[in-house]
Amino acid sequence: MRRFVIFTPGCTEEDLKVWEDAGFKLVDETSLDYPELRPDVIFICDFKAGVITWQLISKLLPKVLILTGSSEQTPVIPGELADLFNLQVIKGENISFTIGSTIQGQVVTPAWEIYRVSDGPLTPQEQLQALADSIYRFLLQDVFKETAEWCGHMSSVVGPM
């Protein structure tokens, strides 16, 4: 299984477990200086808390940046960073996710109902699990595209064997 790296500053243990269960490798701030641990995803649980600076995000430039907010207040990525990312908003029940991506295409809106455990409203963890799985598939599709392009290039350079 391909393990994508995620940096999740200020998140709860429950949130971290969701990302880990989806197949992501968690890194903390002390690991950010190692190129092999550069995060593919930065997930900011509470964008108002100031747990990470926009300068650090610019420096790390993840493939996917996710900010969470309430359904009434959608988080906004500042102008200079917004220009670097393809932006989209995915709304769940009482939660919204602002997603910035440097990858071509859009993250598929999760099939929320698949993740519902009880008859009540979706819990924040169920919604996060749905989103984490969608983000994982989005990143995996990008790897497949890159591999197909590389194989096509190599076969044109090397020729038939």
Instruction: Tell me the per-residue pLDDT of 43-59, one tens digit each, with 9 for 90 and over.
Output: 998 766 555 778 888 88
Angle at 139 between CA 6 and CA 158, to 5 degrees: 125
Bridge partners (DSSP) listed for residue 24: 4
**Residues 67-80, mean pLDDT to the nearest whole number:** 81
**Residues 113-133, mean pLDDT to the nearest whole number:** 93
Cα 41 from Cα 1, distance rounded (Å): 17
Report the chain's C-alpha Rg in angstroms. 17
Ranges of each domain in the chain: 4-158
Total residue length of the chain: 161
4-158: CATH, from 3.40.50, 3.30.70, 1.10.3470, 1.10.357: 3.40.50
Identify the pLDDT of residue 153. 47
pTM for the model: 0.86
Identify the pLDDT of residue 21. 96
